């Protein structure tokens, strides 16, 4: 069971997730401090008030805009899971490549503070007792997820000379 710590609308851009003015910071261990830099959640994250595994719920086209990988690495740094109606392409691929938890759920209904359980292809909102079907990620992505991310996946390819 994990708590929804932030509920966002449609079209959350990478400029909101990780504003351009922090783009000179690139390393995955340095990006988390600027997560949602212009939103109140930033202070709570940096104050250690958000538990790992907490959930952000959003609507359509989460992560639209720039290809900046900081937008995925900063969320990964806090071990957050993103449930959205759907995701923008580059963000989704970056998330999978880095092992950030992303879940497609076009019907999700949840408010901040709700407790969710993710199981057997669905999300159960324990607060409202409603459940919502998960849309599986494209099969092509699964091999990368199974390998633990793109870096170990590519490493295994060069070690096995494919």
Residues that bind another protein (CB under 8 A): 11, 13, 15-16, 19-21, 23-27, 38, 60-61, 64-69, 72, 86, 88-90, 93-94, 97-98, 138-141, 143-144, 149-151, 153-155, 157-159
DSSP-derived secondary structure letter, 109: -
DSSP-derived secondary structure letter, 12: -
Q: How far is the CB of 130 from another protein (least distance, A)?
A: 25
Q: How far is the CB of 115 from another protein (least distance, A)?
A: 29
Q: How far is the CB of 79 from another protein (least distance, A)?
A: 18
- Taking the least distance from each CB to another protein, the nearer of 47 and 140 is 140
Tokens of 110: 């949840």
Q: How far is the CB of 66 from another protein (least distance, A)?
A: 5
Beta bridge partners of 124: 117, 131
- Taking the least distance from each CB to another protein, the nearer of 113 and 152 is 152
- Taking the least distance from each CB to another protein, the nearer of 117 and 151 is 151
- Taking the least distance from each CB to another protein, the nearer of 45 and 96 is 96
Taking alpha carbons only, the member of 145, 131, 140, 132 closest to residue 104 is 132
Between the alpha carbon of residue 65 and those of residues 12, 76, 151, the distances in Å are: 9, 19, 24
DSSP-derived secondary structure letter, 135: B
Q: Which residue has the tokens 């691929």?
A: 93
37-42, long-range: CB within 8 Å, 24+ apart, which pairs? Answer: 39/6, 41/5, 41/6
- Taking the least distance from each CB to another protein, the nearer of 9 and 48 is 9
Q: How far is the CB of 151 from another protein (least distance, A)?
A: 5
């Amino acid at each position: 069971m994990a708590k929804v710590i932030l509920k966002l609308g449609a079209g959350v851009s990478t400029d909101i997730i990780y504003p351009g003015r922090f783009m000179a910071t690139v390393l995955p261990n340095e990006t988390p401090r600027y997560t949602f830099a212009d939103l109140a959640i930033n202070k709570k994250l940096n104050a250690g008030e958000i538990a790992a595994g907490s959930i952000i719920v959003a609507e359509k086209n989460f992560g639209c805009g720039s290809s900046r990988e900081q937008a995925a690495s900063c969320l990964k740094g806090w071990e957050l899971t993103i449930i959205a109606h759907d995701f923008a392409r580059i963000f989704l691929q970056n998330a999978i490549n880095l092992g950030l938890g992303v879940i497609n759920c076009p019907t999700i209904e949840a408010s901040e503070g709700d407790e969710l359980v993710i199981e057997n292809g669905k999300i159960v909102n324990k607060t409202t007792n409603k459940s919502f079907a998960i849309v599986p990620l494209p099969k092509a992505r699964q091999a990368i997820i199974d390998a633990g991310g793109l870096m170990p996946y590519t490493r295994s390819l060069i070690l096995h000379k494919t």
